[in-house]
Structure 1
Amino acid sequence: MLTGSDLLTKVKELGDVSKSDLVRACGYVSNKKDGGERLNFTAFYEALLEAKGVSLGATGVAGIGKGGRKLSYVATVQGNGNLLIGKAYTALLDLKAGDEFEIKLGRKQIRLVPAGSEDSDD
């Protein structure tokens, strides 16, 4: 798995490839029990953020939201049933308006997978 400046260089080198191909080319792949391939998007994006100088740990500016409040990484279902993630979190992952995700439901969990990624098929 590439990290740091090697990761940034590879991302720039690959240019406009699919997110799945980018994750695979940077080495963020593991094997499923059935022998299939699992792309580790979360680990890739965390490494990418760290390579860009954004730390997701307790230290640094990354854990601070608007008004200096510390990000809690806990979301609460609102009275109207909505589950709000918030701008501070989407900014950490450099998400833009119009980015699409597939919603995957599991036992007491909700997983957001970038639309069109190979991980969205399982």
Structure 2
Amino acid sequence: MPETAIPLSGKALLQKVRECAQMPRRETAKACGYYSKTKDGQIRVNLTDFYDAVLAARGVPLEPGGVKDGRGREPTFRVSVHKNGQIVIGSTYTEQMGLKSGDEFEIKLGYKHIHLKQVDSNGEISIEEE
């Protein structure tokens, strides 16, 4: 079974890359843990994983639209009114907003728009700048 190093990620990876600035890229990747040892003891440097990790650590999205797991639809940030008059906001949006079951909102109707103002646990509307 090949032996694998634990690769660095995030700020630790970027710091190590700065420290190894004068080294060849294969040596930098190896120093950051992006390598594995084969059964016969040879070291294989994983440059693709290293480059992906550096880009991710710098905040560059590798896949447009985020991580896709192949299930369901992708969020479009649009909803429509159902035949029964209801508007349903999917869990993708509520998860991105950090909402939990039981969170309450006050509905403010405007001309061709709806504002949802979150109500805190004391029943007061949270102050938001528009």
Report the TM-score, using the length of structure 1 for normalisation: 0.46
Q: Which protein is richer in helix relative to its size?
A: 1
Report the TM-score, using the length of structure 2 for normalisation: 0.43
Point out which structure has higher relative CO (alpha carbons under 8 A, 6+ apart).
Answer: 1
